[in-house]
Amino acid sequence: MEAIILQILDGLNKGSAYALIALGLTLIFGTLGVVNFAHGALFMIGAFCAVTISRVLSISQIVLDETRTDFLGKPLQVKVPYVDQWFGPEMGQLIVDWSVPISLLVTIPIMIIIGITMERGLIKHFYKRPHADQILVTFGLAIVLGEVIKYFYGANPVPTPAPSAFVGSLDVGVLIGLDPFTVVYPYWRLIYFGFAAIIITAVFAFLQFTTFGMVVRAGMQDRETVGLLGINIDRKFTIMFAIAACVAGVAGAMYAPINAPNYNMGMDFLVLSFVVVVVGGMGSLGGAVLSGFLLGILQSLASMTEVIDIAPGINQVIIYLVAIIVLLTRPRGLMGRRGVMED
Amino acid sequence: MLGLKFSDFALFMLVVLCVALAPILLNPFPASSELAQFNAGYPDLLQRFVIFGVFAVGFNILFGLTGYLSFGHAAFLGIGSYAAIWMMKLLTMNVIPAIILSVIVAGVFSLLVGYISLRRSGIYFSILTLAFAEMSYALAYSVLTPITGGETGLQPKLSDPRILDAELSAGESPAANLFGIGMRDSYIVNFGDWVFTFNAGYYIAGLFLLVAFYLSIRIFRSPFGTMLRAVKSNQNRMSYTGLNTKPYTLAAFVISGMYAGLAGGLLVAMDSQVGPERMFWTASGEVVLMTILGGAGTLIGPVLGAGAIKYMENILSKINETVLKGWFEFLPDAASEWVVLFLNMFTGKSWHLTLGLIFMLVVIFLPGGLVEGGQRIARLFGIGKKRNQTVESDSAASK
Q: What is the pLDDT of residues A1-21, one digit of tens each?
A: 778 888 888 888 888 988 999
Closest CA to B112 of B141, B84, B76: B76
Least confident of A35-44, B131-140, B258-267, B318-327: B318-327
**Is A303 in a helix, a strand, or coil?**
coil
- What phi, psi does B197 have (nearest 5°)? -110, 115
- Rounded Cα distance between B330 and A1, Å, is 72
| Fold for the domain defined by B6-30+41-300 | ABC transporter involved in vitamin B12 uptake, BtuC (1.10.3470)
Confidence class for position B383, pLDDT limits 50, 70, 90: low
What's B154's DSSP letter? B
Helix A131-153, helix B351-365: angle, nearest 10: 160
Chosen from B343, B364, B366 to mutate, greatest number of chain A CBs within 10 A: B364
- Rounded Cα distance between B24 and B361, Å, is 31
Contact list in A for residue B134 (CB cut-off 8 A) is 271, 317, 320
Confidence class for position B396, pLDDT limits 50, 70, 90: very low
The answer to whether residues B302 and B56 touch, using CB atoms and an 8 Å cutoff, is yes
Q: How far is A96 from chain B (nearest CA, A)?
A: 31
Name the residue facing A343 among B121, B143, B367 (closest C-beta).
Answer: B121
Average pLDDT over residues B207-220: 92
Taking the mean position of all CA atoms in its chain, how far away is CA B252? 18
DSSP characters for B289-338? HHHHHH-TTSSSHHHHHHHHHHHHHHHGGG--HHHHHHHTTTS-HHHHHH
Name the residue facing B345 among A132, A151, A320 (closest C-beta).
Answer: A151
Contact B288 A136 (CB under 8 A): yes
Evaluate whether ipTM surpasses 0.85: no
Q: Which helix H or strand E contains B64, and what residues bound it?
A: helix B43-66
Average pLDDT over residues B127-146: 85
Contacts of A41 (CB under 8 A, 6+ apart): A141, A142, A145, A146, A266, A267, A270
pLDDT digits (tens, 9 = 90+) for B370-382: 888 888 888 888 7
Q: Which domains does chain A have, with CATH numbers?
A: 2-59+99-329 (1.10.3470)
Q: How far is A88 from chain B (nearest CA, A)?
A: 38
pTM as predicted:
0.84
Alpha-helical (H) ranges within chain A are: 2-32, 39-57, 82-87, 89-97, 99-121, 131-153, 172-175, 187-209, 211-221, 223-228, 233-255, 265-280, 285-302, 305-310, 314-329
What is the phi-psi region of residue B88: left when phi exceeds 0, alpha when psi lies from -120 to 50, beta otherwise?
alpha
Closest CA to A197 of A254, A271, A116: A254
CA nearest to B120 within chain A? A343
Q: How far is B279 from chain A (nearest CA, A)?
A: 14
pLDDT above 80 for B349: no
- Which is more confidently placed, B328 or A212? A212
pLDDT digits (tens, 9 = 90+) for A206-219: 988 999 989 888 88
The answer to whether residues A184 and A173 touch, using CB atoms and an 8 Å cutoff, is yes
State residue B387's pLDDT score: 47
- What phi, psi does A97 have (nearest 5°)? -65, -40
